[in-house]
Amino acid sequence: MEIKRVFRTKNIATILNESEKDKRQLKKVLSAFDLFMLGVGGIIGAGIFALIGTAVAGDGTRLGAGPALMISILLTSIACLFCGLCYAEFASMVPISGSAYTYAYASLGEIFAWIIGWDLLLEYAVGNIAVAVSWSGYFVEFLKTFGLEFPKYLSVDLTTALKSKEIMESAPRIFDIPIIFNLPAVFIVVLLTIILTIGIKLSSRFNIVMVLIKLSVLLFFVVIGIFFINPKNYQPFAPNGLRGIQTGAAIIFFAFIGFDAVSTAAEETKNPKRDMPIGIIGSLAFVTVVYLVVTFVLTGMIPSKNLNTAEPLSVAMRVVNMNWAAGIVAFGSIVAHTAVLLVFQMGQPRIFFSMARDGLLPEWIAKVHPRFRTPYIATIIAGIFVAGGAAISRLDEMADLCNIGTLTAFIIVCIGVLILRVREPERKRGFRTPFVPMVPILGIIFCLYLISGLPKLSYIRFVVWLLIGGVLYFFFGFKKSRLKEIKNET
């Protein structure tokens, strides 16, 4: 029966053999240090600089964790650690740019590979829309420190603009249509798309510089802020109990997204079997420590109820009358956001690239630039999608949608490790996830726990997104898939 083909898997030997024979090779230039820095660059961004405020204080519709956000961070990091160990095993075993999409193809079948590829569009592209919008907010605030006021009609989402008579009346018009979009968000996405098209090594070096700057700014915040800690601000420690801690974990999860993007660079890594686990696990562990220290200082500086703001770290500095320090923190946030945008914009095209090589997307998307050896068509497409979305979208809606998509991807990767341990137990693994099946199962349980803390509207949007993807698969991917032409090798 033809429909059974949607559940066919492409075994690992075939995947590796195809990659070696394919003339569209990506340039292998990345080291373990590059991957570690990509991981740190992809993780530390909008989450710790922006959403941490909402996670601590709540936002009117969701309960905040208060100072107990430190427990939320530990819960989230444990969930990510379990999933990161599974990612590391797959990345060392299948050093291909497709990340979780390729892993699902090898373990669960084509339909699940498509679902995860479509799902990853939520993590990387939709997640980057959220980060670009947040970047724009910090950039506009940073300009104010120099007395520069950016026009609201060129720095706001469409929903907010439509509710504001002032913005609608001040906007210029073409054929009586108001010109309203988020110009800074569009600008930064276009700039990074150009950098990524030129080359992965240039992108990696650019990322390293930005990571060093934002880590310096966070260290600066901690060193200055620790002198303003008031122990009374830690009481009550968990104002909304376990429910608040769970909600805080679901929100702050956005601050951990990015470590898995390291796996999309596997095909461009010199020694992926050794370096991939270092990049994934190392960056995740390092960032967890950074988050805990920053949260401890932030919640000790000012009462949690005052942190429901888009710029919590800068606000904390202003509350203690350190306005000059607030400007430095704002600059660090801009750099941090830029690094995350770079890593996510690097990840999404490589998913498209792998899907196009497999026939699930049009083959021309998999074109590699003859000089730069980058998937430039896929990079440009991702740039257009993100820039268009960032021009009109809101941060909170995009972040929630990104979270549920990413958590689903993590669950599928954990399931994939369990399946391949049974199906191909003798397969050589550069890194083996310890304590299988316990670690993958705990990863699944923790991810489901975090999903349950997300708003109900996120579930509805996610289901609609998957239905749209399913239609596209059966009208194109199912018919064009190269899997029906391939005889799997053992």
pLDDT in tens, 321-343: 888 888 888 888 888 888 888 87
DSSP 3-state of 25? coil
Does some domain include residue 490?
no
pLDDT of 154 above 50? yes
Pairs from 13-16 (Cβ < 8 Å, separation ≥ 24): 13/488, 13/489, 13/490, 14/486, 14/488, 14/489, 15/94, 15/96, 15/102, 15/105, 15/106, 16/94, 16/96
Q: What's the one-letter identity of residue 298?
A: L
For position 29, what pLDDT does the model report? 80
H-type helices in 254-394, by residue range? 272-301, 312-319, 323-357, 376-390
Mean local confidence (pLDDT), 160-168: 77
**Tokens standing for residue 344:** 């996510």
* 403 phi/psi in degrees, rounded to 5: -60, -45
For 172-215, how does the pLDDT look when each residue is reduced to its tens digit (9 = 90+)?
888 778 888 889 999 999 999 998 888 777 777 888 888 899 89
The answer to whether 226 and 295 have CB atoms below 8 angstroms apart is no
HSE (CB half, 13 Å, CA atoms) of 319? Answer: 20
65 part of a folded domain? yes
22: in domain: no
Let me know if residue 426 belongs to a domain.
yes
Residue 10 lies in a domain: yes
pLDDT of residue 76: 92
27-72: per-residue pLDDT in tens?
778 888 888 988 888 788 767 887 788 899 887 777 889 999 999 9
Distance CA 190, CA 139 (A): 16
* Residue 386 within a domain: yes
Which range (18-22, 125-129, 379-383, 417-421) has the least confidence?
18-22
Task: Please give the share of the chain, as a percent, with pLDDT higher than 90.
Answer: 25
CATH code assigned at 176: 1.20.1740.10
Is residue 438 classed exposed, middle or buried when 0-12, 13-18 and 19+ CB atoms within 10 A define those classes?
A: exposed
The average confidence (pLDDT) of the chain is: 85
pLDDT for residue 3: 67
Q: For residue 251, which of 206, 295, 200, 208 has the smallest C-alpha distance?
A: 295
pLDDT, position 136: 86
Residue 489 has pLDDT above 70, yes or no: no
pLDDT tens digit string along 291-318? 999 999 999 999 988 888 767 888 898 8
331/221 Cα distance (integer angstroms): 12
> For residue range 426-473, what is the model confidence (pLDDT) as tens digits?
888 888 999 999 999 999 999 998 888 888 888 898 899 899 988 999
- Given a contact cutoff of 8 angstroms between Cβ atoms, the answer to whether 135 and 185 are in contact is yes
Residue 112 lies in a domain: yes
Which range (91-100, 184-193, 363-372, 392-401) has the least confidence? 392-401
Q: Is residue 22 over pLDDT 50?
A: yes
Q: What is the pLDDT of residue 97?
A: 67
What is the phi/psi pair of residue 10, to 5°?
Answer: -110, 110
Looking at the chain, how many residues does it have?
Answer: 490
Residue 134 CA to chain centroid, in angstroms? 14
- Whether residue 396 is predicted with pLDDT greater than 70 in this model: the reply is no
Please give the structure tokens belonging to residue 93.
């075993």
Span 228-280, pLDDT tens digits: 999 999 999 999 999 999 989 988 888 888 777 787 777 788 888 888 889 88
How many whole angstroms separate alpha carbon 399 and alpha carbon 389? 13
Please tell me the predicted confidence (pLDDT) of residue 397: 67
The number of folded domains in the chain is: 1
Give the highest mean pLDDT range of 15-24, 115-124, 176-185, 253-262: 176-185
Q: What is the value of pTM for the model shown?
A: 0.82
Is the pLDDT at 1 greater than 60? The verdict is: no
Residue 125: both structure tokens together = 């592209």
Give dist(CA 340, CA 320) in Å, integer.
29
- Asked whether the beta carbons of 86 and 276 are under 8 A apart, the reply is no
Residue 20 phi, psi dihedral angles, 5° rounding: -70, -35
- The amino acid that residue 333 corresponds to is S
When pLDDT is cut at 50, 70 and 90, the band that residue 2 belongs to is low
Q: Tell whether the model's pLDDT for residue 221 goes beyond 90.
A: yes
- pLDDT over threshold 90, residue 74: yes
Those residues whose C-beta lies under 8 Å from the C-beta of residue 439, and which sit 6 or more positions away, are 82, 85, 86, 433
CA neighbor of 361 nearest in space, from 228, 481, 467:
481
pLDDT band at 158 (very low <50, low <70, confident <90, very high): confident
Structure-token pair, residue 213: 């700057």
Residues 110-117, mean pLDDT to the nearest whole number: 86
Is 247 inside a domain boundary?
yes
- In terms of Cα–Cα distance, which of 403, 416, 417 is closest to 448? 403
Residue range of the domain that includes 429: 2-17+30-485
Residue-level pLDDT at 490: 47
Q: Distance between CA atoms of 325 and 382, rounded to whole angstroms? A: 36
Residue 96 — very low, low, confident or very high, per pLDDT cuts 50/70/90? confident
CA angle 344, 350, 354 (to 5 degrees): 150
Instruction: Please say whether the beta carbons of 128 and 348 come within 8 A.
Output: yes
